[in-house]
Amino acid sequence: MSDVPLSPLRLTIFAIVVGVIAIASAAYLYVVRVETPPASASPTRLVNDGQRQALLPIRQQAHVAFREMAPGPGYGRLAFRSLEDSANRVTTELTCNRVHFTATVGLCLTIARDPAGFRGYLIDDRLEVTRAIELPGVPSRTRISRDSRFAAYTVFVAGDSYLATGLSTRTRIVDAHSGSMLGDLESFAVTRDGTVIRAADFNFWGVTFTRDANRFYATLGTAGRILLVEGDVAARALRVIAEDIECPALSPDETHIAFKKRFGSGLDAWWQPAVFNLATKDVRLLPEPKHIDDQIEWLDDGHILYAVGHSVSAALRRADVWSLAIDGASPPSLFIRDAESPAVVRP
The set of long-range contacts for 104-108, using a CB threshold of 8 Å and a minimum separation of 24, is 104/148, 105/144, 105/148, 105/151, 105/176, 105/177, 106/65, 106/78, 106/144, 106/343, 107/142, 107/144, 107/151, 107/153, 107/176, 108/78
Asked whether the predicted pLDDT for residue 114 surpasses 80, the reply is: no
CA angle, 193 as apex, 230 and 185 as ends, to 5°?
Answer: 35
Q: What is the mean pLDDT of residues 255-261?
A: 97
pLDDT, tens digit, 9 for 90 and up, residues 46-88: 888 889 899 999 999 999 999 999 999 999 999 999 998 888 8
pTM score: 0.85
Asked whether the predicted pLDDT for residue 113 surpasses 50, the reply is: yes
pLDDT, tens digit, 9 for 90 and up, residues 194-214: 999 999 999 999 999 999 999
Helices (H), 198-322: none
Let me know if domain 8-345 sits in CATH 3.90.1640.30: no
pLDDT, tens digit, 9 for 90 and up, residues 265-317: 777 888 999 999 999 999 999 999 999 988 999 999 999 999 999 876 767 88
